[in-house]
A and B are shown apart, each in its own frame.
Chain A
Amino acid sequence: MLPLLTTIVFLPLLGAAVTALLPKGRAKSARVVALVVSLIDLALVIILALRFDVGGGLQFIERVQWIPEANIQYFLGVDGISLPLLFLAALLLPIAILASWNISERPGFYFTMILLLAVGMNGVFVALDFVLFYVFWELVLVPMYFLIAIWGGPNRQYAAIKFFLYTLFGSVFMLVGILALYLNPAGGTFDMMELANSSFPAGFQWWVFAAFFLGFAVKVPMFPFHTWLPDAHVEAPTAGSVLLAGILLKMGTYGFVRVSLPILPGASASWAWFISLLAVISIIYGAAVAFAQTDLKKLVAYSSVSHMGFVMLGIASATPEGLDGAVAIMFAHGIITGMLFLLVGMVYERTHTRMIAEISGLSKQVPVAAGLLAFASFASLGLPGLAGFVGEFLSLVGAWRSPLIAPGYVVIAAVGVLLAAAYMLWMVQRTVLGVPSEAVSNITDLTSREVGILIPLVVITVVMGVYWSSILAYVNPAVLTLLASMGAA
């Protein structure tokens, strides 16, 4: 039997090979190949989740020497922190594929890129050797670049290059950090688990943390490194936006949890004031700028900056509540923002505009789309009982408990919850409610394919929001293990 994680990670590569080699005339069937591959992948992740022992630490480990001369291993494994993210990636993949079902321009290449992207996304969350991690990390850039540059909006070239260079700029610093850990006498390995058990001198930790910070903060993105995001989102095709917001941003925050905290615990504490400061700025600033947007996609993009600020606040707190909350938001944000981008895309396909001023009265004209958009908006603004609230609440509680974070920051972050309601409700008031505008007056409601894409996300949003254990049962033990190892190191 094949090793499960390797299969999950590389099955999309096989699919990509098939879609790439399809003859020109059969290119349309690429979508079927992609869908089948993504569904098998999802099924495998579900099997993995069912076989996962929630209290059992790192599992499904695969470890072989890869380049023995440099002590580089092929090392995969999954724990309660990475599993929800792996599941998220596997879930959003078929959804992204179905959302691109009718793509007409070079479908073969398109689905090849989507599947290639999946390899990188899956890989990042299960790689436990830094070289492998870095390979997956960078692998993600290429297909996303093409998705934006070929299938994007009018300004796609600019957005694609900006996305590529900006994040590459960040990851160069990450590479420096990786090499510094490797070359340090206390390190000497690329094994992330082993590095987590080593202890590095405080001064060394301080600047290595700074290097990783640049790599991760661009990806998250944290203020002031966020401006690639709105451009990339606005120009990307819907599936690109879904995966970008759903998965790619989480790579940054996951990096903080998987790398910065366990390997550099001392520096994480001494940098906490700075991280939480930027987090709070991101929360408020993202919410305010989102409020002023006139383009729906940009509004959602800036809302991501705000939400990811809550993730970073939870991470900086280094408390069980904060970290549980951080992972919960990562997951919930992927689901909810995925819904928002899908819906904005569906509305755009019909109205050919994303300008808020030109869209109104959706609820009268297309009640199903409007209802789902309102649902996603309320989930996004953190309504209790839906998924978005879980992490936001825990992150605030954890930040308050944390000795590393000034109480004033938490108060300001809590105001961010109010500001989230402001930009979301105002958007709903202008687009969903009211009398149909000209652009809306003749459009048709969602098709069953479109509703079918959204239903799983709706269900997950409700289930997670009501029964928090559905995700925290996985996350909490892993977080406790992580924090215990930080204390020990």
Chain B
Amino acid sequence: MAYVALIPLLPALAFAVLAPLSRRARNRMRWLGVGAVGASLALSLVAFSSVWPGGQDADALYHASWPIAQVGGADLSLGLLLDPVSAVMLLVVTIVAVCVQLYSLAYMRDDDRVGWYFGVLTLFTAAMLALVLADNFFMLYMAWEVMGLCSYLLIGFWHEQEAPRRASQKAFLTTRVGDVGFAIALAIIYATVGSFEFTAVLGAAGSWAPGVATAIALLLLFAAMGKSAQVPLHVWLPDAMAGPTPASALIHAATMVAAGVYLVGRALPIFEASGVALSVTMLVGTITALLGGLMAMVQHDIKKVLAYSTISQLGYMFLAIGVGGAVAGTFHLVTHAFFKSLLFLGAGVIIHASHTQDMREMGGLGRHMRWTAVTFGIGALALAGVFPLSGFWSKDEILDAAWNGGHYAVFFLALAAAFVTAFYVARLWFRVFAGPAQTDDLEEGPATMLLPMTVLTVITATIGFAAPAFSSFLGHEGHWPDPLIAISSSAVAFAGLGVGWWVYGRRDAAVDTNMLKERAGLVYTVIERKFYFDDIYEHLIIRPYIWAAEALARFDSEHVDGGVNGVATAWCRVAEAAWWFDVNVVDRMVNEVAHAARVAGSNMRRIQTGGVQVYQRYVLGALVLFMLWIVVKGA
């Protein structure tokens, strides 16, 4: 089964070929990326079928690892693990990636750096595939970071403009805040277990001191919150919409942002060993599901609505894991990947046609773009959780898990979030497709763009029925929805859609939303200002850091370096003083001595008379003194 290694390797090689080429050659060779990802899809299908029918027996169907270094006495390895979860993820990633690549062929056709776009998209796919196949935390982290790079490059793809440039940096740095947690978690894991391998680490998790498990779990959760845009690290994702729309579909909706959920799912035994961390996960997910939905309600930019919706739905997944419904969370990851990428691709067609992202400038598109309206509508209904579309099933499982786990408050909050979701979905669809048209030359997208959307629509419409099979594939007991929960969630969904229709959808009597905004007053303002997260970061972190950095730079040149120069200056002063001393004291003394010698000499000269008797007298005197000295000493 060595072909499994080819699944991430082929796209990686395609990037390696594309990257060094000249711009023009790269543009011509863009099909290479499409082909490589297509081949990965084919191999993923083979891999999936080999894992089928899954269950506990299929755990680690394929496991291989290659050491890349020996450190101390331990091996650091890149290893691949094919089990039911990774097999599912392989399919999700490759299917969405192929759809996005095909779609992009048309969408990005006229861009003069289209080759680079496809190269990065392909590298991203390679990294994501490596991530889901990783058999250890270390490799997962490497792939995780490479995805972050690709996300950065694609968000900032149109970097001549200010917004994408800023957004790309914000995305990279915000997710890296989380990655600090990841790095420390890895250090603790290694110090505790001496290995990064899932089997070794997760197998030992139960025997750790609770503090260790909690620390590792919370740090991993923090990393996941960055990558999966959970409150309060969600702020980068809405801005990331400045990138090309198909890239948003793949990276910022279907796959990369779900990697955080995947990580927490993989590390579940650590979270379970901690307990506390599981509750925190639930809390973070619930808050995010709700806040994300609320913020989606007031956005005017179609992509930003979808971005906040993604944040909210990812929150649902965390919530699911937190209440003990990891399988439900994973299933929601899968269904969401398909319907949200469908919505993004649809949004791309809409933006292409109407030349704006502002929904206030849209309307009436449905008459001209029927197929887009239908496919987008199916995706929207799936997001709202309408039977029998996929979102209904996965959301239902999550609600089921919350209820049966005894987390009633979470259950009702999740229902509230579902209501909000249905509301903004209706608002979005009616604003875009219903009402009077505001632009003339509306045209349906080309078939090359509609085809991938159709594929995703079919999956979205049908995959829900696989819910029980999905559970048993992952080795859990599958079951059909609890009727009571299904009814209540459907009621909430229809209520949300109904209110949305009532406000935005009725032909003549559209409600004056300005009046609503005024009524809501403060609440509206708070939501509209996105709960002030960006402002708080701007004022409490970014500006103080810039201020501190500049202050430190001044400190460095004035005081640290000033100290060095001060020592040098002081030394110059000392040298000058020494010079003065030398001239005025030492040298003068020498001169004085010389002078004294001269004076003495001239005085002495007087003794030197030349008379022998005089000299004899000196000698005699000296002799007497000498003898006296001997006598005294002898005594």
1/0 per residue, CB under 8 A from A, across B95-114: the answer is: 00000000000000000000
Instruction: Find chain B residues with CB under 8 A from A480 CB.
Output: 72-73
Instruction: Find chain A residues with CB under 8 A from B166 CB.
Output: 429
Stretch in B177-185, B305-313, B321-329 touching the partner = B177-185
From B71, B165, B177, B187, give the contact of A418 (CB < 8 A): B177
Stretch in A25-33, A36-44, A466-474 touching the partner = A466-474
Q: What separation, in Å, do the CA atoms of A385 and B145 have in the docked complex?
A: 9
Closest to A287 in B: B549
From A166, A400, A434, A472, give the contact of B184 (CB < 8 A): A400
Instruction: Find chain A residues with CB under 8 A from B6 CB.
Output: none
A476 and B69 contacting across the interface, CB-CB below 8 Å: yes
Residue A320 is within 8 A (CB to CB) of chain B in the complex = yes
Residue A414 is within 8 A (CB to CB) of chain B in the complex = yes
A367 and B180 contacting across the interface, CB-CB below 8 Å: no
Residue B508 is within 8 A (CB to CB) of chain A in the complex = no
A421 and B159 contacting across the interface, CB-CB below 8 Å: no
Tell me the smallest distance from the CB of A403 to a CB of chain B, in Å.
10
From B23, B73, B160, B560, give the contact of A361 (CB < 8 A): B160
Instruction: Find chain A residues with CB under 8 A from B165 CB.
Output: 429, 433-434
Instruction: Find chain A residues with CB under 8 A from B546 CB.
Output: 291-292
Residue A79 is within 8 A (CB to CB) of chain B in the complex = no
B71 and A363 contacting across the interface, CB-CB below 8 Å: no
Residue B357 is within 8 A (CB to CB) of chain A in the complex = no
A393 and B183 contacting across the interface, CB-CB below 8 Å: yes
Task: List A residues 363-400 near B (Cβ within 8 Å).
Answer: 363-364, 367, 378, 383-385, 389, 393-394, 396-397, 399-400
A426 and B169 contacting across the interface, CB-CB below 8 Å: yes
**Given known A162-B564, A411-B184, A418-B180, contact A433–B72 (CB-CB < 8 A):** no
A285 and B173 contacting across the interface, CB-CB below 8 Å: no
Tell me the smallest distance from the CB of A408 to a CB of chain B, in Å.
11
Residue B535 is within 8 A (CB to CB) of chain A in the complex = no
A472 and B180 contacting across the interface, CB-CB below 8 Å: no
Residue B548 is within 8 A (CB to CB) of chain A in the complex = yes
1/0 per residue, CB under 8 A from B, across A171-200: the answer is: 000000000000000000000000000000
Task: List A residues 392-429 near B (Cβ within 8 Å).
Answer: 393-394, 396-397, 399-401, 410-411, 414-415, 417-418, 421-422, 425-426, 429
B180 and A417 contacting across the interface, CB-CB below 8 Å: yes
Tell me the smallest distance from the CB of A245 to a CB of chain B, in Å.
18
Q: What separation, in Å, do the CA atoms of A289 and B561 have in the docked complex?
A: 13
**Given known A289-B556, A426-B169, contact A467–B183 (CB-CB < 8 A):** no
1/0 per residue, CB under 8 A from A, across B535-549: the answer is: 000000000011011
Instruction: Find chain A residues with CB under 8 A from B149 CB.
Output: 378, 383
B145 and A414 contacting across the interface, CB-CB below 8 Å: no
**Interface size bracket, A side:** 35 or more
**Given known A227-B564, A401-B190, A414-B180, contact A469–B69 (CB-CB < 8 A):** yes
From A400, A429, A435, A467, give the contact of B187 (CB < 8 A): A400
B146 and A418 contacting across the interface, CB-CB below 8 Å: no
Residue B631 is within 8 A (CB to CB) of chain A in the complex = no
Instruction: Find chain A residues with CB under 8 A from B1 CB.
Output: none
**Given known A414-B180, A468-B76, A469-B70, contact A400–B553 (CB-CB < 8 A):** no
Instruction: Find chain B residues with CB under 8 A from A417 CB.
Output: 176, 179-180, 183
Tell me the smallest distance from the CB of B56 to a CB of chain A, in Å.
33
1/0 per residue, CB under 8 A from A, across B516-545: the answer is: 000000000000000000000000000001
Q: What separation, in Å, do the CA atoms of A292 and B546 have in the docked complex?
A: 7
Q: What separation, in Å, do the CA atoms of A311 and B208 have in the docked complex?
A: 31
Closest to B142 in A: A384
Residue B188 is within 8 A (CB to CB) of chain A in the complex = yes
B184 and A410 contacting across the interface, CB-CB below 8 Å: yes
Binding site for B on A (CB under 8 A): 162, 165-166, 223-224, 226-228, 231, 285, 288-289, 291-293, 319-321, 324, 361, 363-364, 367, 378, 383-385, 389, 393-394, 396-397, 399-401, 410-411, 414-415, 417-418, 421-422, 425-426, 429, 433-435, 466-469, 472-473, 476, 480
Binding site for A on B (CB under 8 A): 23, 67-73, 76, 141-142, 145-146, 149, 152, 156, 159-160, 162, 165-166, 168-169, 172-173, 176-177, 179-180, 183-184, 186-188, 190-191, 545-546, 548-550, 552-553, 556-557, 560-561, 563-564, 568
**Additional A-B contact list (13), CB under 8 Å, known A288-B549, A292-B552:** A162-B568, A224-B563, A289-B553, A292-B546, A321-B190, A396-B184, A411-B184, A418-B176, A418-B179, A422-B173, A434-B160, A469-B70, A473-B69
